[in-house]
A and B are shown apart, each in its own frame.
Chain A
């Protein structure tokens, strides 16, 4: 059970108003919409559901848990950061993850967070990449949030970022947004009961969105970074 201070911290850092840069990312959804492969709220929900099951749960969640647990030993975190770099093949998803992770670190640096300053220095010295889930694990550990809420917050942020993109792409309404988010919350709860494997076992299989992201790199008309 979290005390009121922790709940407040969770709300503050999980709020969409917290400056993180996520407003500029669609995670492949823009291209899927442009190709008429996602045309409705049902398609949006399927897209996010598959991302949660076949990538966030098996890949990001594991890295996040690892970085959270090793947050006091940054040298143990860097190999996980390298692994995300090597295993994220679509360029826009890889660069997007780094840009968001670095942007998050940058905000915490301005908030005078020592861990953010230390890890940002590693990035500037080309010793680390600063992928999003790595930054989330380090930073949210540093502000005293417990592990399970951190995992939930990361999944929640991914869902709201993608749903927000879907809203601006005209794929869903604001009511669809909330109804879909409620259903996705149940999926997240199930995923969070999965055992956390070793970091070496991370994997993901989301070929449709990966290909969409690769095609987005060449797209001349684009609202989003990926």
Chain B
């Protein structure tokens, strides 16, 4: 749901979810699609212990390194995107001033639990990424991340048969607990489902 606020500037899209669910891989898949559309993009990562995610994106060559900023979370991944997101807001404002034609800033949370949510003063739209290998009971466990996010992304669909996860059940229960709000199945290694994720962002925050 898009919230009204007085902030101008690029759209901000939050990406949360548990450790290893594929948040960084999703960003790696989204960046070329936005660039191809002619959108200007920047990324903020919230690494927990290292700057691994920021470095991975910088090394990927998908974006100029100065468009990828790391914000340390002080061991509190949800605090810096929800209760006290001032450093992430500050990083986004700095990027906005530095790159005046930015269209989108992707803000990746540090890996967290199912209760993780974004402050709507920080982002305009946010996604929650889970994966099949965490178990097919994850959607019905609810949690604010699963229920409240604007888009639920269920990643690593290719692994489902190998870990005994029932993807159809995850979709059915995901839609149930989310009251019918959108969810997308992805494989961030091959790009499956990414176009649909990009379209959700475009339709909800870029409006073109």
Contacts and interface: CB of A to CB of B under 8 A. Distances in A.
B168 interface: no
B50 A24 contact: no
A183 interface: no
A99 B90 contact: yes
B137 interface: no
Interface size class of A (residues with CB under 8 A): 20 to 34
Contacts of A26: 74
Taking each of B73, B86, B87, which has the highest tally of chain A beta carbons within 10 Å of its own beta carbon? Answer: B86
A24 B121 contact: no
B48 interface: yes
Interface string B63-96: 0000000011111100110011111011001000
A24 B72 contact: yes
Contacts, number: 66
A222 interface: yes
A38 B85 CA distance: 29
A124 B98 CA distance: 11
Interface of B: 48-51, 71-76, 79-80, 83-87, 89-90, 93, 97, 121
Interface of A: 17, 19-26, 99, 102-104, 106-107, 110, 124, 165, 168-169, 220-225
Given A102-B90, A223-B74, 19 more contacts: A19-B84, A20-B86, A21-B86, A23-B74, A23-B76, A24-B71, A26-B74, A99-B90, A103-B86, A104-B86, A106-B86, A106-B90, A106-B93, A124-B97, A165-B74, A222-B49, A222-B72, A224-B72, A224-B74
